[in-house]
Chain A
């Protein structure tokens, strides 16, 4: 089935370790986004991309880096993990900017639960 696939689904890191979260979509969407979800705070945008080779900062970009070398993939990196980065991370993609339009919207991945100890 078409959609957004995130790997891994779960991960435990020690403080200071690094890791990369992978997001892959097969819908030929231009726009891709990384969000984090913390209890009681809804979703907050970390970084986003408006097309292959582009990236931009969102609301909470500190401590994260991203890359979009191929249109279908959007990688989120943590260079030196901190306990404050314990969260559930969601990747999303959309055909149009911010998912605007009659039948357009965001397609989300199933999430990655990350714990930093």
Chain B
């Protein structure tokens, strides 16, 4: 199955800084999503982005499918951005198994 690797595993930033999280995947994808898990454990879907670029407020994501990676950008970080960011991908239309990476833990310091 597809392998999904995320980097860095941990990131500590001052409030107001910008950050870039990376997701590498081992196969061509037809589904790639980014999720945020807040410190209370709640998982929120951020982007569905198998290719191209999307933006939602201070967050944006870019997937370069031909080079098998996706980037999540967070600008002007706020303490509420803290948590774990997961990338998940799949390469098979008939398979329900969305493979998750192990996540990037982001800590924003006031």
Contacts and interface: CB of A to CB of B under 8 A. Distances in A.
A and B assemble together: yes
Contact of A42 (B33, B48, B86): B86
B48 A102 contact: yes
16 contacts: A40-B102, A42-B102, A44-B100, A58-B97, A97-B96, A98-B31, A98-B96, A99-B31, A99-B33, A99-B98, A100-B31, A104-B48, A106-B33, A106-B35, A108-B43, A108-B45
Interface in B4-47: 4, 30-31, 33, 35, 41-45, 47
Assign chain A's interface to a size class: 20 to 34
Interface in B71-103: 86, 88, 90, 96-98, 100-103
Contact of A99 (B41, B44, B45): B45
Interface residues of B, number: 23
A59 B30 CA distance: 19
Interface of B: 4, 30-31, 33, 35, 41-45, 47-48, 50, 86, 88, 90, 96-98, 100-103
Contacts of A48: 96
A12 interface: no
Contacts, number: 62
A74 interface: no
A43 B33 contact: no
A58 B100 contact: no
B86 A43 contact: yes
Contacts of A101: 48
B94 to A, nearest CB: 9
Nearest to A104: B48
Nearest to A101: B48
